[in-house]
Structure 1
């Protein structure tokens, strides 16, 4: 099996041997090990957050799943926020009015900090995960004879 890493200007193909090496390296990162990069003239420790990003990326590649790498600007539009949160633009505007998201104005247009939107996305995912677990527990209780 060969997996392609696609980008706007670059394509990288990974062989099965590459994928096996990625699995081993991702497993090392997954045990909480800090990552240190050494060059002949100096070394540096990779921040924990970056290590977690690398681990997720490598695991997805090793599983043969497609990966897209991109970045967000520091400030994003309500439309982009809506896409990230998987809600409509009017819902984002409601979140702004309710104080769930802060925004600034650029002329007559709202702008949101991408970090704030991503933090809200993580929070909403955690809340959904917790609600699903509670439903599963409730279901288990109801199934008791």
Structure 2
């Protein structure tokens, strides 16, 4: 499976964290408002320069990756068309694999079978997560409104 998904993301070193912070700051000035391809110049250790043109779709990814590395976090890249195992999908949702399999069997998340194994599209995982987050937020809003009506809120106290 050639999906660009690494088994184990690497944590940045302290030097990489500092460099990411500087790089993010410098690049954000130039890339934040760009909507067209831009070229960056890469200078290798021998002083050789090469211009590389980047599509505008890369800017937010690059800035987000640098910001996370600057915080000391590992970063992975997963294409939205990637197929995940049930364990990878469960890890993304922070649930157990048996619970995820139950969601798949109930039809709450689309999947396909490859032999005996289930495969889930990353984009379907994102859709499910967005739906459940939205439902959760709506339920919390309703509970807060009910608490306000019952005089259980903290407003005005």
TM-score by length of 2: 0.59
Q: 1:32: Cα distance to partner?
A: 5.2
Query: Aligned Cα RMSD in Å?
Result: 3.8
3-state SS in 2 of match to 1:20:
helix
Distance 1:32 1:115 in 2: 27
Paired residues in the alignment total: 135
Q: 1:16: Cα distance to partner?
A: 4.6
Distance 2:21 2:52 in 1: 29
Distance 1:33 1:130 in 2: 35
3-state SS in 2 of match to 1:14:
helix
Higher relative contact order (CA 8 A, sep 6+): 2
Q: 1:112: Cα distance to partner?
A: 1.2
- Identify, as 1 or 2, the structure richer in strand: 1
Map 1:42-121 → 2, pairs under 5 A: 43=53, 45-47=55-57, 50-62=58-70, 64-71=71-78, 74-121=82-129
Distance 2:119 2:19 in 1: 45
Distance 1:135 1:32 in 2: 40
Contiguous gaps of at least 5 residues in structure 2: 1-8, 41-49
Q: 1:82: Cα distance to partner?
A: 0.8
- Identify, as 1 or 2, the structure richer in helix: 1
TM-score by length of 1: 0.63
